[in-house]
Amino acid sequence: MQKKIDKILIIRFSSLGDVILTTPVIRVLSAQFPRSKIYFLTKAQYADLLRDDPRISSLIEFDPYRRHKGLSGFGRLISDLRSCDFDLLVDLHANLRSFFVRHLVNSKVKLKYRKHWWSRFSMVHLKFLKIKAVHTIDSYLDVLRGIQVETPKEEPSIYLGPENVEFSDHFLLERNVKKDDIVVGVHPGAKWETKRWDEGKFTEACRTLIDKLNCKILLFGNTGEEKLVEEVKRDLPEEKLLLAVGLPLGKFMSLIKRCDCLITNDSGPMHMASALGVPVVAIFGPTHPKLGFAPRGCSDVVLCADVKCSPCSLHGEKRCRKESRFCMDLIQPEMVTEAAERILEKKRSLLKET
């Protein structure tokens, strides 16, 4: 290990969940090298995840559509990075783009993430799930062994800026949400349609929680998911519904932070909630927790049917070829509501003890 490390560059371009899962590496490096400056390179669309992280000295936003478009734009990025003269470069993406950054940017020490492709290939294509699961966070942290840094088990963590906290305060105040109201977040979306639990089942789970707990449902949706949100909210009492659709990332995060728990598919907001300390009920279907992307919070609950054909792909992108989506159909609304109730009861018990 280098005796003196003044500048550290961490690379993870995308996606939302993966960027969040790199935050334990930020924490470990910040603790190990408290006087060092940490630079983080990511795509501009994910920069708000880390914008308010006090451990990061400089957030470098890669914009492939404008400033860094094409070869000339990428060359501009490399030129900017080469001027920094890093002591440690940590590539947590290990794709073609990060390969060129790693080889063209000056750094005394360069480390690269190992993807465990064989074990994941075995799980997806051979259905060999007896392989020891390696969480993605642990894979990222394992990179630091190259500089003899001890890496204890870590959970992800992200920070909210004051303007986003203020937004969530006003949002809830304007909708008459009281301090002692139970707010259950529900995010029915996912990047791939195959990873989405049925809209009707989300609706049924929401109705049950409203009837049992008299809670508010904070329904989340990304831009483009307006129709999905409309389907879920149908037949639910309007006075119990709060809608957060198409919000900027920082505001989206601030509202998730105000939830008592979040019900979600295997998606980026699942990791976001976990990193904000909000317990999740995560629904896995075509993907599988053993692939290394399960939520890591101590109160998080993962529901997975463990059907023989799952996982059918690494990220859930493949179209289902079965007569029914058994991996999703076998997960019933009562399973989700019972898990949410257990989380909320545990949270109430902890609050009483304090």
- Higher-confidence residue: 29 or 325? 29
What one-character-per-residue DSSP string does 110-149 give?
EEE----HHHHHHHHHS--TTSPP--HHHHHHHGGGGGT-
| CA 283 – CA 286 distance, rounded (Å) | 10
Using CA atoms, how far apart are residues 270 and 23, in angstroms rounded to an integer? 15
Q: What is the pLDDT of residue 16?
A: 97
Whether the Cβ atoms of residue 283 and residue 267 lie closer than 8 Å to each other = no
Give domain limits for the chain: 7-147, 162-353
Average pLDDT, the chain: 93
The pLDDT assigned to 351 comes to 66
Confidence of residue 223 (pLDDT cuts 50, 70, 90): very high
Handedness of CA 42, 44, 50, 55 (dihedral sign): positive
Burial (0-12, 13-18, 19+ Cβ within 10 Å), 298: exposed
Cα 219 from Cα 211, distance rounded (Å) = 17
317 pLDDT exceeds 90? no
Residues 105-133 pLDDT 10s:
999 999 999 987 778 778 887 777 777 77
- Both tokens of 170, joined, read 């006003």
pLDDT of residue 188: 98
Residue 206 confidence (pLDDT)? 98
Query: Residue 354: which pLDDT band, with cuts at 50, 70 and 90?
Result: low
Backbone angles phi, psi at 183, to 5 degrees: -115, 115
Quick check: pTM over 0.75? Answer: yes
Q: What is the 3-state secondary structure (H, E, C) of 180-196?
A: CCCEEEEECCCCCHHHC
Q: Which fold has domain 162-353?
A: Rossmann fold (3.40.50)
> Matching CATH topology for 7-147 and 162-353?
yes
Mean pLDDT of 92-115: 96
For residue 235, pLDDT beyond 70: yes
Strand pairing partners for 91? 11, 112
pLDDT at 3: 61
pLDDT-above-70 percentage for the chain: 97
Domain 7-147 has CATH 3.40.50.2000: yes
